[in-house]
Structure 1
Amino acid sequence: MTDLIQTIVTSLVDHPENVVVTEKETGNVLTYQLTVHQDDLGKVIGKQGRIAKAIRTVLFAAASHENKRVQLEIME
């Protein structure tokens, strides 16, 4: 799942070498923390959060067969 996030985000940003995805598991909840370059933060979030919402939708669809909840946190 981290590879999926990294693949999506690196195609959006200008500084793909600064994309870092970390995974935390608490019970049945997987939390992915995404850190990008400060200049690329707006590109990952998008206007009114549309790109971030689209990334989360893809994650929910990919994790639906694992019976776990997935969260994506975009760190500053």
Structure 2
Amino acid sequence: MKQLIETIVKPLVDHPEDVHVNVVEEDYRVTYQLSVNKNDMGKVIGKQGRVAKAIRTVVYAAGTSQQKKIYLEINE
């Protein structure tokens, strides 16, 4: 899943070397914390959050096979 997120986000940004995904696993949930360069934040979120929503949709769909709830947080 971490690879999937990086594969989606890196072509969108100007500084792909600053894209990092941290994984926080708990009992019933997995949180993926995506951090990007401050200048690329607008590109990852998109107009009215459309790009972020699309990324989350793909990640949630890919994670339906797991028994845990999946969350994606976008951080600076």
TM-score (normalised: structure 1): 0.96
Q: Which runs of 4+ in 1 moved over 2 A?
A: none
Superposed CA offset, 1:2-34 (max 9, x none) = 000000000100100000000001112000001
Q: For 1:25 and 1:59, how far apart are their aligned partners in 2?
A: 15
Corresponding residue number in structure 1 for 2:39: 39
Deviation at 1:67, TM superposition (A): 2.0
Q: Identity over aligned residues, as a percent?
A: 58
Q: Flag structure 2 segments of 5+ consecutive residues without an equivalent.
A: none
Query: How many pairs align?
Result: 76
Unaligned runs of 5+ in 1: none
- Report the equivalent of 1:26: 26
Map 1:1-76; keep pairs closer than 5 Å: 1-76=1-76
One-letter code aligned to 1:44: V
RMSD: 0.6
Q: TM-score, normalised by structure 2?
A: 0.96
One-letter identity of the residue aligned with 1:26:
E
User: Secondary structure at 1:65's aligned position in 2?
Assistant: coil
